[in-house]
Amino acid sequence: MSRIDLMELVRDKIKTLETYQVENQNEGIKLHANENPYPPPPKLLNKIFQQMDDLELNRYPDSDCSELKKVIANRTGASVEQIIIGNGSDELIQHLMQILCNEGETVAFPDPTFAMYSITAQCLGLNPASFPLNDNWDFDASSVLKILGKHQAKIVFISYPNNPTGNCFSEREIQQVIEQFKGIVVLDEAYYDFSEKTFLEQMEKHNNLVILRSLSKIGLAGLRVGYGIFPIILAEQVNKVRSPYNSNSISQWFASEVLSDFALVQNQIDSILEERARLMDELSKLSAVVAYPSNSNFILFQVAKDGEKVFNNLKANGTLLRNMGSHPRLKNCLRVTVGTKQENDQFLNQLRKATS
């Protein structure tokens, strides 16, 4: 019988990390994970059931994801060689750090922002360095460039729009960072379909730019599909660290179908955008609530007091939000994903009661 001290074997940097907590609930409404509240259109679901045989699930998937890349190339104007498919864009965040950073080197990002930049950096033994956002949740390029220089950062991640604040940072400041930073600027456009703002066309002029996108926010969260558009030299390096079958056959096929017949999903996006405007409007009528402008499919808002209590109250009534209150800049802040009209009405009714 072996009885060795397993924790002795674990890297020190991993021991001190905490597990990323993903809250969930089986009943009620889920407005906590920035998912699309609408299921995939029946036309698409029927098609996948009819074509299941053609997918040859006994075979490994296409390691190159050729069909899906062609569809993405068509939609974005990027070349197939620039595109890498990820098992969610999370995976590409990790690969970027793996190909660019030696242990101890710095990865930078704003604060607050998407937690995975810091978590992934720590898992890889890198140095996460954040630069604070101002009260408008924006930054100025000159102070960011100073921080990047001080740490000799290799990569800066810019969530555009930013999760959890919801806004797009000033284009001019981002532009200046792209032009002056001697490392890689990653524009994480996971919420692009809701903002329609992109730095993609800048890739022709600047070879230090990477664009990441996700299909999780527009209906395929369960299939885990993200993609990156890279300078070809970097795409080649990512292909060295990517596991050869990181994207499964069903995900590749479904994502290709969604992106080639986008009108079906665009209808859902349009409804979400309409509901976002209505939610903002309703939230602005609540005196105990400050809602921040959003370019994404979620809204960050602050309640006057007891954010935790409000969160728990809604949760007990079947509405799950994301409680952001543990972040020092986000005291009493909650994040709500834009749901269906019915879900949003339920959320608003409960919030009105909980804050009155």
- Write out the residues near ligand PLP by the rule CB under 6 A: 34, 88-90, 114, 159, 163, 188, 190, 214, 216, 226
State the nearest-atom distance from the C-beta of 325 to ligand PLP, in Å: 18
Query: Nearest-CB residue to ligand PLP?
Result: 88
- Of 184, 138, 124, 125, whose CA–CA distance to 157 is shortest? 184
The nearer residue to ligand PLP, 90 or 343, going by C-beta atoms, is 90
The nearer residue to ligand PLP, 216 or 247, going by C-beta atoms, is 216
State the nearest-atom distance from the C-beta of 28 to ligand PLP, in Å: 20
The nearer residue to ligand PLP, 166 or 350, going by C-beta atoms, is 166
- Residue 187 sits at φ, ψ, to 5 deg, of -90, 105
Sign of the CA dihedral running 243, 246, 248, 252:
negative
The nearer residue to ligand PLP, 89 or 252, going by C-beta atoms, is 89
Residue 212, beta-bridge partner list: 188, 228
Rounded to whole angstroms, the Cα distance separating 232 from 230 reads 6
Quick one: which H or E segment has residue 142? helix 141-150
Rounded to whole angstroms, the Cα distance separating 351 from 315 reads 11
Q: What is the DSSP string of 184-207?
A: EEEEE-TTHHHH----GGGGGT-T
The nearer residue to ligand PLP, 90 or 257, going by C-beta atoms, is 90
State the nearest-atom distance from the C-beta of 69 to ligand PLP, in Å: 16
Q: How many CA atoms lie within 13 A of 107 on its CB side?
A: 29
State the nearest-atom distance from the C-beta of 228 to ligand PLP, in Å: 10
The nearer residue to ligand PLP, 72 or 354, going by C-beta atoms, is 72
The nearer residue to ligand PLP, 226 or 339, going by C-beta atoms, is 226
Length of the chain counted residue by residue: 356
State the nearest-atom distance from the C-beta of 204 to ligand PLP, in Å: 24
- Of 89, 123, 62, 96, whose CA–CA distance to 237 is shortest? 96
Contacts for 120-124: CB closer than 8 Å, 24+ residues apart: 120/90, 120/93, 120/94, 121/97, 122/13, 122/17, 123/13, 123/14, 123/17, 123/94, 124/94, 124/97, 124/98
State the nearest-atom distance from the C-beta of 85 to ligand PLP, in Å: 11
State the nearest-atom distance from the C-beta of 293 to ligand PLP, in Å: 17
